[in-house]
Amino acid sequence: MKKLISFLFFSCCIFIVNAQIALPSFQGFNSAKPSPFLVFSSDGSSLTGWTFGGATIDLNNGNPSSCFKITAANQQFYRDLGQTFHNKTILFDYKPGTSSDMGFLFAQNSGGNSVYRVTLRMWQDNVNAKPQGLGSVDNGGWLYLGGPSYYPVPETTAIFTTANIWYKIKIQITANRVCTWYINDVQQISNFTINAGYTKANTTQCYFGFLGNNYGGTAYFDNLEIWNGIK
């Protein structure tokens, strides 16, 4: 019996050794994190971690389920990303109510007065072109945006022509600070280049958020993602 056990043990050891030898080599595996990779996401279910005033969570109008909701001018919600917006892609879903006037801001500081800020004004109108798009519009902190003179290349036609439907928004910021934006994967006219003083080492102008602008109205925001890299 002892001889049989010894033989079986020896045979198993040979099998295990041979199995290990047969394993594929991983010497060429690169463990570095791929780009783009996700650095922040929110499904619109909570305002925990955000600084906010007036903004709420709507449990019934998300895409799907819950979402962020703004119902008037001067309402807002914002937070710190913890890193600069160099080489980033921002994605979110946006549903504007009729004649709503909303803004998205990034490369902002906590007080809402960064000289490097970038703003996206989103105005629902099915008839007229409004001063909107990418620019550096923010003379009201986290409360409201400034006028059309702040947009270097404003949109020339109405862009959110249908109210109360979801649009997919994408903003790309290259490593050279050039910002472009898209609606449902279609690139829009306006673009903006962040001031050269905004370096990768910046640790204070890293805030982003949404606000209800001068004309207010109701709008919904959902599925926010920020990626490192161009996506």
- Parse the chain into domains and list their residue ranges: 36-228
Cβ atoms of 204 and 19 within 8 Å: the answer is no
pLDDT one-digit tens code per residue, 29-54? 334 566 799 999 999 999 999 999 99
Give pTM, 2 decimals.
0.83
> What is the pLDDT of the chain when averaged over all its residues?
84
pLDDT one-digit tens code per residue, 97-145? 999 999 999 999 998 889 899 999 898 987 666 778 888 876 788 998 8
Q: At residue 220, does pLDDT exceed 50? A: yes
Query: What would the mean pLDDT of 66-93 be, rounded to a whole number?
Result: 97
Q: What's the per-residue H, E or C state across 25-87?
A: CCCCCCCCCCCCEEEEEECCCCCCCCEEEECEEEEEEECCEEEEEECCCCCEEEEECCCCCCC
pLDDT of residue 6: 47
Superfamily of domain 36-228 in the CATH hierarchy: Exo-inulinase; domain 1 (2.60.120.560)
